[in-house]
Amino acid sequence: MTKTISCVIRTYNEAKWIGRLIDTLRSQSNVSFDIEIVVVDSGSTDGTVDIVKNLDVKLMEIQKAEFNYSRALNLGIEKSTGDLIVILSAHSIPRENSWLQRIIAHFEDEMVAGVYCRQFPWPDADPYEVLRIENAFRETSRIFSKEATHTNMSFSNVASCIRRSVWEKHPFVILPAAEDREWAQWAIENGYKIVYDAQASVYHSHMETCQQATRRMIELEKAADIRLLRKRTLFLTMKQSLSSLIRGIVIVHSSAHFKGNRVRYSAKCILYSFWYLVDFYRKD
């Protein structure tokens, strides 16, 4: 096994979390390797960079306008030296002291290209976030390969580990979002394995406005546009807007997570739908 594990962390205004994450990584138990930490910051204004500069880590700074999930990761990995690359969002905190050891143990199998773990929402997470995370990250571990169906694979760079040699063959593709799933899909199609370890876990969830949450969903749709060679038209946007509204209303009125707040969250469904149209006409 490699003597150095590199951890690449993307940050933007993560002063609340970055110190806690780095402390958590350095307190991992049963590790017999050096932990190298690379932070890629994309224009933080809340003191994140000042905190990082006082820690024993490598820091890369890019402008906010230059940020792209894939580009930031590729730059961070280029600056790292480990054969295994742990990737974490700055507000993803491992729940177990054995998290790192458990994740990297899977790489004893040379055909494993990547490993991702279970996510648990923070206690103050929005019900939509709780449902999303529960649906995407179940309690049963799985190994995805060409021989095994992988329709439910949710490989996520929120908390993952990848093999450098595979990344060198296929760096993260520049997409609006979902660069992690594209990479994992490529690995599977080229004969590698992707492991989902449900016994390793992190706390992670987003605290977002309706606009921010919808923008994230739209970025996923735009990534699908690229993959499917699909043109983003007003008709497609309206179709997705209506689908979002119907799907949201059904969820709100069928899930116990929204009990007592169904009117409020039904109104939010309308806002989610509205922001699809706003985004279509927005000029970047």
For residue 109, what pLDDT is reported? 96
Nearest by Cα to 265 from 159, 172, 128: 128
Q: C-alpha distances in angstroms, 18 versus 73, 88, 97, 149, 187? A: 17, 11, 17, 36, 30
How many residues are listed for the chain in this entry? 284
For residue 150, what pLDDT is reported? 64
The pTM of the full predicted model, rounded to 2 decimals, is 0.84
| Residue type for position 225 | D
Domains and CATH numbers, the chain: 4-203 (3.90.550.10), 210-281 (no CATH)
- Residue 242 burial (CB count, 10 A): 12
Q: C-alpha distances in angstroms, 7 versus 10, 172, 220, 254? A: 10, 16, 25, 40
Q: What is the pLDDT of residues 201-258, one digit of tens each?
A: 999 987 767 677 777 777 777 767 777 778 888 888 888 888 888 888 888 888 888 8
CA distance 248 to 240: 12
Q: What is the pLDDT of residues 123-140, one digit of tens each?
A: 888 888 888 888 889 999
Q: What is the pLDDT of residues 33-78, one digit of tens each?
A: 889 999 999 999 999 999 999 998 999 999 988 888 899 999 999 9
> Which band of pLDDT confidence, cut at 50, 70 and 90, is reported for residue 2?
low
On the question of pLDDT at 283 being above 90, the answer is: no
Decide: 87 and 160 in contact? Cβ < 8 Å. yes
Percent with pLDDT over 90 in the chain:
53
For residue 101, what pLDDT is reported? 93
Phi, psi of 249 (to 5 degrees): -60, -40
Instruction: Report, as an integer, the average pLDDT of 95-99.
Output: 94
Q: What is the pLDDT of residues 74-91, one digit of tens each?
A: 999 999 999 999 999 999
Nearest by Cα to 7 from 271, 194, 202: 202
CA distance 168 to 43: 27
For residue 149, what pLDDT is reported? 65
